[in-house]
Amino acid sequence: MTQDRTDTVRVLIADDEYLVREGARSVLSSVPGIEVLGVAGDPAELHVAIAATPPDVVVLDIRMPPTYQTEGIDAAQVIRVTHPEIGIVILSQYADPEYALELLRDGSKGLAYLLKERLGEPTKLAEAIREVARGGSVLDPKVVDGLIEAQHRRSRSRLHGLTPREGEVLEMMATGRTNAAIGDALFLSERAVEKHINSIFRKLGLSEELDINHRVAAVLFFLQRNMGMAD
């Protein structure tokens, strides 16, 4: 939904811990332009509250009753279907990239993932609430760091699946050599080089696009590995 910065943003808070949800209520109630409609201790209470008085934004935890696993993310996904106009702020103590990826799997519009330490920074929390109310998205810097590191781990894992010969071919691709030049250097036929390159693309999970795009992507994997080793 479109939300002007001067409008009052109506918020519902859901967290199973009394001190956290009341702390969030206290923090947000002190911010001009934000109205806390109420609080809930679990997803069931939250859905009842939304049905009674739909808010502009919901602030909720990830782990809540009954299983304390991903109830908050599950609730967020239901809300996105039933009330797509409602912004959602996940407020969690876990900077887990897998949680963030699950939350954002269908898009980032109107979503934020922040750490609970932001309760001590009312201005930043309020900015995130206003941003998702406008349809924007916000990720905590620590969550972003976790996502980047997870991507690095996946990239390194894929590279470890290459054979020594494929690693040599990839390294020469990174120098900009053609298939013929790679073959000359490694005493391989051009056809053999093509087979190695196709195997590299397959193991790195690269889509079937123009050859130049394949090479660029493969080189990026190679450089990323070397930078990770240097670190």
Query: What secondary structure does DSSP assign to the chain, as a single string?
Result: ----TTSPEEEEEE-S-HHHHHHHHHHHHTSTTEEEEEEESSHHHHHHHHHHS--SEEEE-SS-TTTSSSHHHHHHHHHHHH-TTSEEEEEES---HHHHHHHTTT--TTEEEEEGGGGG-HHHHHHHHHHHHTT--EE-HHHHHHHHHHHHHHHHHHHHTS-HHHHHHHHHHHTT--HHHHHHHHT--HHHHHHHHHHHHHHTT--S--HHHHHHHHHHHHHHHHHHHH-
The predicted structure's pLDDT at residue 142 = 79
CA distance 32 to 9: 10
Asked if residue 154 is part of any domain, the answer here is no
User: In the β-sheet with 138-139, what is the strand arrangement from edge to edge?
Assistant: 34-40, 9-14, 57-60, 87-92, 111-115, 138-139
Say if residue 123 is in the same domain as residue 21.
yes
Say if residue 167 is in the same domain as residue 212.
yes
Say if residue 15 is in the same domain as residue 83.
yes
The pLDDT tens digits of the residues spanning 13-26 come to 999 999 989 989 99
CA distance 29 to 36: 6
Say if residue 18 is in the same domain as residue 128.
yes
Q: Please tell me whether the peptide bond between 32 and the residue prior to it is cis, using omega within 30 degrees of 0.
A: no
The mean pLDDT value for 147-172 works out to 76
Asked if residue 92 is part of any domain, the answer here is yes
Asked if residue 149 is part of any domain, the answer here is no
The predicted structure's pLDDT at residue 120 = 83
Say if residue 107 is in the same domain as residue 168.
no
What average pLDDT does the chain have? 82
In this structure, of 16-20, 29-33, 160-164, the range with the lowest mean pLDDT score is: 160-164
Counting Cα atoms < 13 Å in the Cβ hemisphere of 43 gives 20
CA distance 213 to 105: 25
Of 107, 139, 171, which residue is a domain's last? Answer: 139
**What is the number of domains present in the chain?**
2
Asked if residue 147 is part of any domain, the answer here is no
Say if residue 97 is in the same domain as residue 131.
yes
Contact 49, 24 (CB under 8 A): no
Say if residue 49 is in the same domain as residue 131.
yes
Of 79, 106, 139, which residue is a domain's last? Answer: 139
Say if residue 80 is in the same domain as residue 181.
no
Residue 191: pLDDT band (50, 70, 90) is very high
CA distance 24 to 59: 9
Say if residue 31 is in the same domain as residue 113.
yes
Cβ partners under 8 Å of residue 41, min gap 6 = 14, 15, 16, 18, 21, 64, 65
Residue-number span of the structural domain to which 45 is assigned:
9-139
Say if residue 181 is in the same domain as residue 121.
no
Asked if residue 152 is part of any domain, the answer here is no
**CATH number of domain containing 135:** 3.40.50.2300
**CATH number of domain containing 208:** 1.10.10.10
Asked if residue 156 is part of any domain, the answer here is no
Asked if residue 106 is part of any domain, the answer here is yes
Residue 58: pLDDT band (50, 70, 90) is very high
Say if residue 129 is in the same domain as residue 167.
no
Say if residue 85 is in the same domain as residue 193.
no
Asked if residue 84 is part of any domain, the answer here is yes
The pLDDT tens digits of the residues spanning 60-117 come to 999 999 999 899 999 999 999 999 999 999 988 877 777 887 888 888 889 898 888 8
